[in-house]
Amino acid sequence: MGVMEKFRASTKYILWLLIISFGVLWALADTQVFDAMKAGPRSLGEVNGKAISFEAYNQKVQSYSERYRYETGDAATSEMRAYYEDLAWEELVNEIIIKQKMDDLGITVTDDEVVEMITGPNPDPFISQYFRREDGSIDQNALQQAIAAPENTQIWLTIEQQLRDKRRREKLAQYLQSSIKVSDAEVVNEFVARNSSLSFEYVRVPFSDTPDSTISFSESELKDFYKKEIDRYQRKKTWRFNYVEFDLTPTSEDTVRTYKELESLKAELSGEVSDSLIFLQYASQTPYTVTKVAKKEVKELYKPVLAVGLNEVTDVIAEGNGLLHVLKKVAETKSEVSFIDYSTRVIADPLGTVDERAKEADDFAYFATEGSFSEEANRRGYVVKSAIATDDTPFIAGLGQSRQTLNWLKGAKVEEVTSNPIELPKAYVVIQLVEVQEAGARSFEEVRPQVERMFKTEKRKILTENKIKASIAGKSSIADVASALGKEVRKAENVRYNAEVITGVGREPFLLGAATKLDKGTISGVINGEFASFVVLVTEKNEVSTNAVAEDVKLQIKGELEQKRNTAISQVWIEELKAEANVKDFRALVLRSR
Domain segments of the chain: what residues?
A: 3-176+584-593, 197-233+446-543, 237-249+350-438, 252-345
Could you give phi then psi for residue 147, rounded to 5 degrees?
Answer: -95, -25
Tell me how many degrees the CA angle 307-308-312 measures, rounded to the nearest 5.
165
The answer to whether 391 and 236 have CB atoms below 8 angstroms apart is yes
Is domain 237-249+350-438 annotated with CATH 3.10.50.40? yes
pLDDT, tens digit only, all 594 positions of the chain = 454 454 444 443 333 334 333 443 333 333 333 343 343 456 889 999 999 998 899 999 999 999 888 887 778 888 888 999 999 999 999 999 989 988 988 988 888 888 888 888 888 888 888 788 877 788 788 778 778 777 767 777 888 888 888 888 888 877 877 777 788 888 888 888 888 999 999 999 999 898 888 898 999 999 999 999 999 999 999 999 999 999 998 888 888 999 998 988 888 899 888 888 888 888 888 889 999 999 999 999 999 999 999 999 999 999 877 889 999 999 999 999 999 999 998 888 888 889 999 999 999 999 998 889 999 999 999 999 999 999 989 899 999 999 999 999 998 999 999 989 999 988 999 999 999 999 999 999 999 999 999 999 999 999 999 999 988 888 889 999 999 999 999 999 999 999 888 988 888 999 999 999 999 998 999 999 988 999 999 999 998 887 777 888 888 888 888 888 877 777 788 888 888 899 998 887 776 655
CA dihedral 271, 275, 280, 285 (to 10 degrees): 90
Q: How far apart are CA 459 and CA 457, in angstroms?
A: 5
Closest CA to 459 of 192, 252, 225: 225
Q: How far apart are CA 122 and CA 286, in angstroms?
A: 47
Q: How far apart are CA 245 and CA 529, in angstroms?
A: 47
Closest CA to 44 of 93, 83, 6: 93
The answer to whether 340 and 291 have CB atoms below 8 angstroms apart is yes
Cα dist from 583 to 94, 131, 353, 565, whole Å: 11, 43, 43, 28
The answer to whether 247 and 356 have CB atoms below 8 angstroms apart is no
For residue 463, the model assigns a pLDDT of 92
Element containing residue 44 per DSSP (H, E): none
Tell me how many degrees the CA angle 514-515-520 measures, rounded to the nearest 5.
135
In sequence order, which ranges of 270-372 are alpha helices (DSSP H)?
Answer: 275-281, 355-370
In sequence order, which ranges of 229-302 are alpha helices (DSSP H)?
Answer: 252-269, 275-281
Could you give phi then psi for residue 46, rounded to 5 degrees?
Answer: -140, 150
Detail the DSSP E strand segments found in 218-355. 234-235, 238-247, 291-294, 317-318, 323-332, 336-345
Q: What is the DSSP letter of 420?
A: S
Closest CA to 46 of 495, 592, 557, 587: 587
Closest CA to 461 of 532, 524, 535, 515: 532
The residues near 330 (Cβ < 8 Å, ≥ 6 apart) are 275, 290, 310, 311, 338, 339, 340
Element containing residue 223 per DSSP (H, E): helix 219-228
Tell me how many degrees the CA angle 367-370-375 measures, rounded to the nearest 5.
65
Q: How far apart are CA 150 and CA 14, in angstroms?
A: 9
For residue 592, the model assigns a pLDDT of 60
b/e map of 410-436 (b: 16 or more CB within 10 Å)? ebbeeebbbeebbbbeebbbbbbbeee
Number of H helices, E strands in the chain: 21, 19
CA of residue 367 relative to chain centroid, distance = 38
Cα dist from 468 to 20, 83, 530, whole Å: 73, 53, 16
The residues near 241 (Cβ < 8 Å, ≥ 6 apart) are 386, 387, 388, 389, 409, 431, 432, 433, 434
Q: What is the DSSP letter of 352?
A: I
Q: How far apart are CA 555 and CA 577, in angstroms?
A: 32
